[in-house]
Homo-oligomer: A and B are copies of this chain.
């Protein structure tokens, strides 16, 4: 299974995400999930950034919250809504929202 996981919040996401196993796992940060890509807590980056080599962040949600693409972790790929449609249809078999 190729599984895309949309992470929609800042807190309490790790427990669910960490347990999911897939042949290909993608993590898509949207809504308040975008804070994982652009903030550090106690000087450390979010542990969620270690969960997958395939990470995306929705630029509209990033910019709404005061961040620009230069501030995000370099492993995370900025995507628009239009890109996200392709990610959902082409790169993963199933996509879940947590």
Compute how far the CA of A12 lies from the CA of B12 in the bound complex, rounded to whole angstroms.
8
A contact residues, total (Cβ < 8 Å): 2
Q: Is A94 an interface residue (CB 8 A)?
A: no
Min CB distance A5 to B, Å, is 19
Q: How many copies does the complex hold?
A: 2
| List of B residues within 8 angstroms of A11 by Cβ | 11-12
Residue of B nearest to A11 (CB): B12
Q: Residue on B with the closest CB to A15?
A: B11
Alpha-carbon distance A11/B11, docked complex (angstroms): 10
Across the interface, which residues of B come within 8 angstroms of A12, CB to CB? 11-12
The complex places the Cα of A11 from the Cα of B14 at a distance, in Å, of 13
Q: How far is the CB of A87 from chain B (nearest CB, A)?
A: 29
A32 to chain B, nearest CB (A): 13
**A11→B12 CA distance, assembly (Å):** 8
